[in-house]
Structure 1
Amino acid sequence: MGRWEPNARERLERAALDLFTERGYDRTTVAEIAERAGLTKRTFFRYFADKREVLFGGQEELTRLFSEGIAGSPTGATPFEAVSGALAAVAAVFTGERLALARQRQPVVAANTDLLERELLKRAKLVAGMHDALAARGVGEPTVTVAAELGCLAFGTAFHRWIEEGNRREFGALAVEALDELRTATATLG
């Protein structure tokens, strides 16, 4: 492969996931990732701050999509409807092409405490993004906090169902289902 092909980011991501799977996250270096991708370390650092970010790249895009989905909900939409709009907006990212990478990524994250901590930080930022977008729509406390947390819980539930082996359903349908289940569950808290 040529060094300057336009898909360098994707090549680095695939190389990193392959190496993390083969050797483990801790035993893989940036130099090895770049070499496997047919690129240089310098190119790696154009796309990622460190090797951990290969697994968490795109967080800003998700946060933006969540916020835009909430902001784009119709006037008068309930917080649940606005969160549903956010989940629909992020569904565009979770395509069939991304599924294999997501399935490969999850065991790598689950096997490393530092990566699990980074995953929790990512979750907190997604919740904060939804919180801020809902608050901008005039949703007050504690509803804004509950809606943002439930939105993130629905997102996480849908994601884990989406990456399960044998799953054939699209992320968007799984997200709607998860949010509906949470809506029903909260009604029974009583």
Structure 2
Amino acid sequence: MAGQPNTRERLVSAAFELFEERGYEAASVDEIAARARVGRTTAFRQFGSKEALIFPDHEALLRRADERLSTVPAEALPAEVIAVATSVFEHYLAEGDRARTRYRLTRSVPALRDFETAVVSRYARLFTKHLRAAQTGDWTADLRAELFANAVVAAHNHVLRRWLRGDVPNPRSDLAEALAATWPIYRGGGGRTAVVVMSTDEPIESLTPRIRGLISD
């Protein structure tokens, strides 16, 4: 019948309902499959794990992002990376309450938090891969590509988390502002010096002259 949810959507809906009702650990794949009116084997064939039911679209989103970035010229890649991040953000906005349920679950279930971290890192690696492939400069160009890729992901996730918590009345404008702030990283900071401070066992007295030298170069 037209308009009926397919097997995949029934499984996802059943999983979210049961996780909310009983908690993630208490809800079994057998129960999810039964509520979705499919067999246990079908559930595993569709998703492979209980964690994957919480992130049902991430493989498709990553695949589309990879395909999209593969088709644009090198000079357009930075803008396209930002466009991809924006499209992923729109996907979460469209999910609405389901995205908020996922956020609550990932905050309370360590296995889901780890799964989410792995998903996020794949976006950073994907963006870096395409940006680096387009570089022809020295090693600093590769560095800027990696920093930019991670900055775009961080900006996206920062605004997304604020929206999920209900802290953002205008998520799209906040995202645009956050992503705009990543541009100087790729462009080399517009001629300004960027200083990255990392923890070290070296005494501060020996580091200070070197930091001053870097800033004055």
**Distance of aligned partners of 1:146 and 1:184 in 2 relative to their CA distance in 1, 3 Å threshold:** closer
Deviates more, 1:106-115 or 1:57-66: 57-66
How far apart are 1:62 and its partner, in Å?
2.3
1:16-72: CA deviation from partner (whole Å, max 9, x where unpaired):
111112211111100111122222212212311011110122222222333344445
Cα distance in 1, alignment partners of residues 48 and 143 from structure 2:
36
| Per-residue Cα deviation, 1:48-97 (whole angstroms, up to 9, x for no partner) | 10111101222222223333444455652373x2321222343453353x
Match of 1:125 in 2: 122
1:38-187 matches, within 5 Å, as: 38-73=37-72, 75-77=74-76, 79=78, 81-91=79-89, 93-96=91-94, 98-138=95-135, 140-165=141-166, 169=170, 173-183=173-183
How many Å separate the matches in 1 of 2:64 and 2:174? Answer: 17
Q: Which moved more, 1:87-96 or 1:9-18?
A: 87-96
CA distance in 1 between partners of 2:123 and 2:55 (Å): 12
TM-score computed with the length of structure 1 as normaliser: 0.80
> 5+ residue gaps in structure 2?
196-217
The structure with higher relative contact order (CA 8 Å, sep 6+) is 1
Matched position secondary structure for 1:26 = coil
* Count, aligned residues: 184
The one-letter code of the counterpart of 2:58 is Q
**Unaligned regions of 5+ residues in structure 1, if any?**
none
Counterpart for residue 33 of structure 1: 32
Q: Please give the root-mean-square deviation of Cα atoms over the aligned residues, in Å.
A: 2.9
The CA distance in 1 between the partners of 2:13 and 2:177, in whole Å, is 30
1:182 shift after superposition: 4.2
Counterparts of 1:69 and 1:169, CA distance in 2: 27
C-alpha distance 113-126 of structure 1, shift in aligned 2 (>3 A)? same
Question: Is the 2:89–2:160 Cα contact (8 Å) retained in structure 1?
Answer: no
Max Rg structure = 2
